[in-house]
Amino acid sequence: MTPIDLRDAARTAVASHGFDVTPVDASSLSPLAPAALGAGARDLTGLLWSSIDNPDTRDLDQLEYAERLDGGRIRILLAIADVDVYVPKGSPLDQRAAQNTTSVYTGVTTFPMLPERLSTDLTSLVEGEDRAALVVSLVIDASGAVQPAEVSRALVRNRAKMSYQDVGAWLSHAGPPPAPVAAMPALADQLRLQDEAARRLRELRHEHGALELETIEANTVAVNGRVMDIALVHKTVARDLIEDFMIATNSAVATFLESRKVPSIRRVVKAPKRWPRIVALAAADGVTLPADPDARALSLFLAARRKAAPEKFADLSLTIVKLLGAGEYDVEVPGGEQQGHFGLAVDDYAHSTAPNRRYADLVTQRQLKAILAGAPTPYTVAELTEIAARCTRMEDEGRVAEREVRKMAGAALLAGRVGESFDAVVTGDTPKGVFVRLIHPPVEGRVIRGFERLDVGDRTRVKLVGTDVARGFVDFAR
């Protein structure tokens, strides 16, 4: 069989789920002069801003800066790329973004919400360039509590683009300083202070019942559309740091909007419908969870399992994520009922830190800018409701498309290994069948024989009985 080009297959898959994948010619877009970008904004280009992300990431949405205050407090400034300055509401680029609502990352190719001329250049907080941003100021006390946030417009400059792997290894004393840290000693102090602040935030969240999960990403390694490997990406201290800042910022922004009586799009994760299965998993380890969903109790159970069986915690985390179910977008009107985010144990949570790749974040950014300008909110509740529904639907469609391409990549990788047996964990029990993910390589497929009495979270041994790359089928039997 002639190998398929997964780049073409990915484009077809993403388009089939309602995304417009027609290339957008944005070459005519010209950079705005720093004076125009910073009109009415603070000039913060002199601060030692830095970014931490995947090494190949080019759509940089945020920068970080920290300073120590009196009384044991730490101020974190988080700069979020001002995408609205180039993509005003109602413009053709905005209409395209509103249709797709999210970037889709298939592993073999990316389908960005905004043209790359913007998302990886003009609206990306790239190293060494002045960029417009919204800066959220968070003051964190010794207990991890955050004072009400301040938001302002600013001009910023990324002084150091670093990777999760390099910074994480260095902060954990398992690797040398990243090149920018070696070149700028002050950056070392910056990162240590940021890590200290992040740990405060994390510890307080866990006290309130936020779930401590260790999710593992499986990234497709492809060359010219052909799959060479599927590599696992583990969490690091640096990933935790950025995640802690994003969570704190998104919560602070939601509270900021509510305090100004502005309706907003919220990210909601409801109490899990499959809580009884979570209770059963805990019972198998000798732990009794409450009959009704309880984030605090689940958090304590997970923390105990991480300590007792660290080698199995990633698989347990994956199982819990599957059982919690997907999040969704909803609209909150100040004074109305709050649904909250079960996994993060917070009542107020708005997506705001990734406007290059999520439309909900761009909408939130426009609301923040309107508040700062003393202008009316740019969206009615009806408009927000329609946007939230579309963002949820397209995120779900994007997730399915990404999974389809990952399955094609997995089928391509395993095509020559039919007949071999593998250790696996059950990741799904749906009307379409029982699904497992291999421990190595981390490929997911369906169990077509011998799946009786299997449930999410079970470990099992399966035999590969067939693959179909074009359809993304990987079939196992027990």
Tens digits of pLDDT across the chain (478 residues) = 456 788 999 999 999 999 999 999 888 888 888 777 777 899 999 999 999 999 989 999 999 999 999 999 999 999 999 999 999 999 999 999 999 999 999 988 999 999 999 999 999 999 999 999 999 999 999 999 999 999 999 999 999 999 999 999 999 999 999 999 999 999 999 999 999 999 999 999 888 777 777 766 666 766 666 676 676 667 789 999 999 999 999 999 999 999 999 999 999 888 788 899 999 999 999 999 999 988 889 989 998 998 888 877 877 888 888 888 888 999 999 877 667 777 777 778 899 999 999 999 999 999 999 999 999 999 999 999 999 999 999 999 999 999 899 899 999 999 999 999 999 999 888 888 999 999 888 899 999 999 998 988 899 999 999 999 989 999 999 9
275 conformational bin, left if phi > 0, alpha if psi -120 to 50, beta if neither = alpha
CA angle (106 as vertex; 161, 233 as ends), nearest 5 = 55
Q: Which of 41, 63, 40 is nearest to 51 (CA)?
A: 63
Enter the DSSP assignment of 126.
-
Tokens of 372: 């700062």
- String of DSSP letters for 272-311: PTTHHHHHHHHHHTT-PPPSS--HHHHHHHHHHHHHH-GG
454 and 316 Cβ atoms separated by less than 8 Å = no
> Whole-angstrom Cα distance, residue 160 to residue 367?
29
Q: So what's the pLDDT on residue 1?
A: 46
Angle at 73 between CA 68 and CA 78, to 5 degrees: 65
Buried/exposed code over 355-374 (b: 16+ C-beta within 10 A; e: otherwise): bbbbbbbbbbbbbbbbbeee
Q: What angle do CA 162, 165, 169 make, to 5 degrees?
A: 105
Q: At what angle do helices 295-308 and 275-284 cross, to 10 degrees?
A: 30
Tokens linked to 161: 């683009």
Sign of CA dihedral 345, 366, 260, 63: positive
- Enumerate domains of the chain plus CATH numbers: 6-269+329-408 (no CATH), 275-326 (no CATH), 418-477 (2.40.50.140)
Q: How many other CB atoms are found less than 10 A from the CB of residue 92?
A: 9
pLDDT, residue 434, reads 93
Token representation of residue 436? 């497992």
Give the other-Cβ count within 10 Å of 187's Cβ. 19
**Per-residue b/e over 53-86, b at no fewer than 16 CB within 10 Å?**
beeeebbbbbbbbbeeeeeebbbbbbbbbbbbbb
> So what's the pLDDT on residue 171?
97
The overall longest dimension of the chain from CA atoms, in Å, is 68
Q: SS3 breakdown of the chain: % helix, strand, coil, rounded to 5?
A: 40, 25, 35
- Enumerate residues 6+ apart whose C-beta is below 8 A from 166: 175, 178, 238
* Closest to 347 in 3D by CA, of 356, 338, 355: 338
Environment class of residue 156 by beta-carbon count within 10 Å: exposed (0-12), middle (13-18) or buried (19+)? buried
pLDDT the model gives residue 379: 97
CA angle 454, 455, 457 (to 5 degrees): 115
Burial (Cβ within 10 Å: 0-12, 13-18, ≥19) of residue 432: exposed
Alpha-carbon Rg of the chain, whole angstroms? 23
User: Cα–Cα distance between 256 and 330 in angstroms, integer?
Assistant: 17
Contacts of residue 2, defined as CB under 8 A and 6 or more positions apart, other chains included, come to none
Give pLDDT, residue 229.
Answer: 66
Nearest CA to 149 out of 137, 141, 159 is that of 137
How many Å apart are CA 324 and CA 272, to the nearest integer? Answer: 5
- CA separation, residue 15 to residues 19, 111, 250, 305 (Å): 5, 10, 30, 41
Lookup: tokens for 240:
């935790």
Asked if 453 contacts 438 with a C-beta cutoff of 8 angstroms, the reply is no
Asked whether the beta carbons of 338 and 349 are under 8 A apart, the reply is no
Q: Write out the two tokens for 51.
A: 């970014």
Q: What one-character-per-residue DSSP string does 22-73 give? A: -----TT--PPPHHHHTTTSEE-TTS-EEEEE-TT-----EEEEEEE-GGG-
